[in-house]
Amino acid sequence: MRVGLIVDSACDLPYEFARKHDLFVLPVTAIIDGQTYIDNHDPVRTQEFYQSGLLDKGHQAETEAFSAEQIHDLFMEKIVTEFDVAICETVTRSRSLIYQNASEAMNSVMAHYEEARKAAGRDGKFSMRVIDSKQIFAGQGLLAAHTLKLIGQKVSKNALRHEVETFTDKIYTCVIPRDLHYIRERARRRGDKSVSAVAAFLGKALNIIPVIFGQGVEGKPVAKTRNFDMAVEKVMNYAVARVEAGLLTPYVSLSCGLSWTEIEDLPGLNRLRDACEQNGVELLLSQMGITSAIYVGPGSICLALAAEPHEFSDFQ
């Protein structure tokens, strides 16, 4: 039985890790200054976007989920013919139509897959499940890494589905938005009022950089700093201490909306690398994808790990 994992372009993971594990990325359409781009996590294209400045706040940038029809065609061509069981983990449904469209596509695929499998020479039935990851960015990447570990352990498909659906509630994320005004403007265009204009104004006027912490997308500010490096130090201190205290899966996911040179210069990154190595944890360090960078803004950082219930302040 061949099991495949599908994620969308909001899921941040190192390119080599995704390729090694045959991860299928469901693309997202990016519309920047009226030009349409397909974000399929091509590392070369992503690097070009950062270098060109197309992701900076001076540009009009939005993302758009593939339609149910587009997703259906991809599933029929790439998934039904290659796998016997497929798990599709989408960015949280509260922030995107991907879950809804993928679910609609799945229902159509399940009613019409036999002919495609027969033509591809694959015997037996096909099953599929679309799961709301309840995560964004690095959090979605962490869930994907844990899912791939379970697939490698050859757990049954029912056990796999149950573990994934329960495990996502154990993931904690830290987000450092570089520019609250950017987030507020993007949220306003989506009709999302979760970031207030007052908070955006204070962040812009006083150069306040917050650390937003919580489970999945249910985060709240837990620290306010006067510069970006101070915020990064706090998050790295948290991650190092949490790794040393123990995790529920041996991964820490860190995605950064920065150039690789800037990423390597992040304060505390080498301490986190050392802590992970000493505790048998793999650090999944990636450049934030185009979709993620448009959503939260270039220069931002997202870190995710899975652990027993705790507060950010417990590890400061």
Task: Encode pLDDT of 159-176 as tens digits.
Answer: 999 999 999 999 999 999
The answer to whether residue 278 scores a pLDDT higher than 60 is yes
Give the Cα separation of 48 and 42 in Å (integer): 10
For 268-296, what is the mean pLDDT?
Answer: 95
**Interatomic CA distance for residues 46 and 39, integer angstroms:** 8
What is the C-alpha separation between 235 and 232, in angstroms, rounded? Answer: 5
Pick the CATH number of 170-315 from 3.40.250.10, 3.40.630.180, 3.30.1180.10, 3.20.20.140: 3.30.1180.10
Mean of all residue pLDDT scores within the chain: 90
Distance CA 173, CA 302 (A): 7
CB burial of 198-233 (b: ≥16 within 10 Å; e: otherwise) equals ebbebbeeeebbbbbbbbbbebeebbebeebeebbb
Q: Tell me: the pLDDT tens digits for 123-182?
A: 899 999 999 999 999 999 999 999 999 999 999 989 999 999 999 999 999 999 887 777
Asked whether residue 203 carries a pLDDT value surpassing 70, the answer given is no
Res. 190: pLDDT tops 90: no
Q: Residue 236: which residues within 8 A CB-CB, separation 6 or more?
A: 266, 267, 268, 269, 271, 272
Q: What integer pLDDT is reported at residue 186 of this predicted model?
A: 66
Q: Mean of the pLDDT values across residues 29-38? A: 88
Query: What pLDDT was estimated at residue 189?
Result: 66
Residue ranges of domains in the chain: 3-168, 170-315
Tokens for 81? 């013919």
Q: What is the pLDDT of residue 60?
A: 78
232-265 pLDDT, tens digit per residue, is 999 999 999 999 999 999 999 999 999 899 999 9
For residues 271-290, average pLDDT: 97
Q: Do 96 and 10 contact (CB within 8 A), yes or no?
A: yes
* 153 contacts: CB under 8 Å, gap ≥ 6: none
Provide the terminal-to-terminal Cα distance of the chain, rounded to the nearest Å: 45
Buried b vs exposed e over 109-125: b needs ≥16 C-beta within 10 Å? beeebeebbeeeebeee
User: In this structure, are strands 3-8 and 24-26 parallel, antiparallel, or unpaired?
Assistant: parallel
What percentage of the chain reaches a pLDDT higher than 70?
Answer: 91
pLDDT for res 233:
97
pLDDT attached to residue 191:
60
pLDDT bin (cut points 50, 70, 90) of residue 294 is confident
Report the top-level CATH class of 3-168.
Answer: alpha beta
- pLDDT tens digits for range 44-78: 888 888 887 777 766 777 889 999 999 999 999 99
